[in-house]
């Protein structure tokens, strides 16, 4: 039938190593990426502002998930401390952009300065913590980084001049670029952009840039060294991989991504509470990585969108499912609240993916792709 297409469309036939090593090394990949990017750019004009705000949060979360995937998925250094670095970034950006003269620190700086600074502050903290990773492995590292979350929570709860203190919190990150307040509607070239549209586009651009950078790292000698350390650290070292140095790079970069993620997330949400940066937040990021797919950048993004949109979906369910309630407490014969359902779903999804598809959503996608590649043959 379509003979011509199968001959000219041999995606694996490449004439140079350079073409083979390109980021998008086949026509379907280039096409797919183009379509997704076009859809993402068109989204602000197609979906409601409420959904767009969630998508902006998902972009922010995806940046953090990519960071966690670098250190835990690629380099295999399980970290429960990701929430700590997210928090460090969020409060750094909030303090840098905050109004001077309020009860909490505020320097009134531009967003465009504050976001990289938030990444850098988190990166420095990650760098300082990285020697822990050289000392401990596996479960011990997980426990050591767990300590970090508790320590961070304690500091944030009590550092009132920065965070507003437990129970009070402070205003989120203010998005001001060149005198334009993006948290208010602005007119660009005769087109009025709403807050959600602006913040979503901002988050999307950052996500795309940071994702490409991470993908480049992953396919480089550094990324290979990460994976070698994850799979067999002694063999890796015998092959010339510097363990300590690469763990340091992984932790520092991961923390940078976390810092940026926190800053962007709390640009969309305009209230930060110090209690937010707890173990549950770390677990949510782990869920994004596990569900999205270990050691894949696109998987991190899928996982982040999935986890971020999950509450939005479960909150619609009580209308359809009789025994669910959207109220925080059980009444009128309901068996579950949506919040309980979410908690259960996290657990079920993590365990389910670990058992059934360890490569996560990315793995599911690969299966679907391979199925259609081989169609109509089933082997």
Partner 1 sequence: MGASSHPQHTTSHATPQSRGDQPAVGGDDEGAPLLTVADVRLSFAGVRALDGVSLTVGEHELFAVIGPNGAGKTSIFNVLSGVYRPQQGQVRFAGHDLIGREPYAIAALGMARTFQNIELFENLTVLDNLMLGRQRHVRYGWAQAMWWLGPARREELAHRRHVEDLIDFLEIEAYRKHPVGLLPYGIQKRVELGRALAMEPRLLLLDEPVAGMNAEETEDMARFILDVRDELGIPMILVEHDMRVVMDLADRVLCLDFGQPLVTGTPEEVQQHPAVLEAYLGGGATTPTAPTPTAPTSDAAEEGPR
- Which residue ranges make up the site for partner 1 (CB under 8 A)? 17-18, 21, 23, 213-214, 216-217, 220-225, 227-228, 231-232, 234-243, 249, 253
Residues with Cβ < 8 Å from 169, sequence gap 6 or more? 163, 271, 272, 273, 274
Answer yes or no: are the C-beta atoms of 52 and 44 closer than 8 Å: yes
Shortest spacing between CB 228 and partner 1, in angstroms: 5
Nearer to partner 1, 24 or 50 (CB): 24
Nearer to partner 1, 134 or 194 (CB): 134
Shortest spacing between CB 209 and partner 1, in angstroms: 10
**Angstrom distance (rounded) from CA 269 to CA 347:** 26
Nearer to partner 1, 21 or 151 (CB): 21
Nearer to partner 1, 156 or 260 (CB): 260
Nearer to partner 1, 260 or 310 (CB): 260
* Phi (first) and psi of residue 328, to 5 degrees: -70, -20
**Angstrom distance (rounded) from CA 81 to CA 130:** 11
Shortest spacing between CB 10 and partner 1, in angstroms: 14
Nearer to partner 1, 96 or 228 (CB): 228
Shortest spacing between CB 82 and partner 1, in angstroms: 20
Nearer to partner 1, 62 or 222 (CB): 222
Beta carbons within 10 angstroms of residue 342's beta carbon: 17
Residues with Cβ < 8 Å from 29, sequence gap 6 or more? none
Nearer to partner 1, 17 or 377 (CB): 17
Shortest spacing between CB 240 and partner 1, in angstroms: 4
Shortest spacing between CB 23 and partner 1, in angstroms: 8
Shortest spacing between CB 378 and partner 1, in angstroms: 20
Shortest spacing between CB 292 and partner 1, in angstroms: 17
């Amino acid at each position: 039938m379509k003979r011509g297409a199968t001959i000219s469309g041999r995606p694996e036939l490449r004439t140079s190593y350079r073409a083979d090593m390109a980021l998008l090394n086949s026509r379907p990949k280039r096409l797919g990426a183009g379509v997704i990017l076009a859809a993402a750019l068109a989204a602000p004009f197609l979906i409601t502002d409420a959904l767009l705000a969630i998508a902006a949060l998902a972009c922010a979360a995806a940046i953090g998930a990519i960071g966690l995937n670098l250190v835990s998925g690629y380099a295999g250094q399980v970290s429960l401390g990701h929430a700590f670095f997210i928090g460090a970034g969020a409060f750094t950006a909030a303090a840098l952009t905050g109004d001077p003269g309020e009860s909490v620190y505020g320097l009134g700086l531009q967003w465009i300065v504050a976001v990289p600074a938030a990444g850098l502050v988190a990166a420095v903290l990650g760098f300082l913590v990285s020697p822990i990773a050289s000392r401990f492995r596996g479960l011990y590292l997980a426990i050591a980084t767990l300590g970090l979350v508790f320590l961070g929570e304690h500091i944030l709860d009590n550092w009132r001049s920065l965070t507003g203190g437990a129970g009070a919190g402070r205003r989120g990150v203010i998005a001001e670029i060149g005198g334009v307040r993006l948290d208010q509607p602005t007119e660009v070239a005769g087109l009025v952009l709403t807050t959600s549209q602006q913040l979503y586009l901002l988050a999307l651009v950052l996500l795309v840039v940071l994702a490409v950078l991470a993908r480049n790292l992953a396919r480089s000698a550094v990324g290979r060294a990460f994976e070698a350390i994850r799979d067999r650290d002694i063999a890796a070292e015998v092959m010339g991989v510097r363990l300590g140095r690469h763990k340091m790079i992984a932790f520092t970069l991961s923390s940078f991504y976390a810092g940026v993620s926190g800053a962007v997330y709390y640009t969309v949400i305009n209230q930060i509470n110090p209690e937010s940066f707890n173990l549950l937040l770390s677990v949510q990021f782990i869920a994004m990585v596990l569900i999205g797919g270990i050691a894949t950048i696109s998987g991190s993004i899928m996982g982040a969108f999935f986890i971020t949109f999950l509450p939005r979906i479960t909150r619609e369910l009580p209308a359809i499912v009789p025994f669910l309630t959207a109220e925080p407490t059980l009444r009128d014969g309901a068996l579950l609240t949506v919040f309980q359902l979410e908690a259960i779903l996290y657990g079920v999804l993590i365990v389910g993916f670990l058992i059934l598809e360890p490569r996560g959503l990315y793995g599911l996608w690969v299966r679907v792709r391979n199925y259609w590649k081989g169609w109509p043959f089933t082997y």
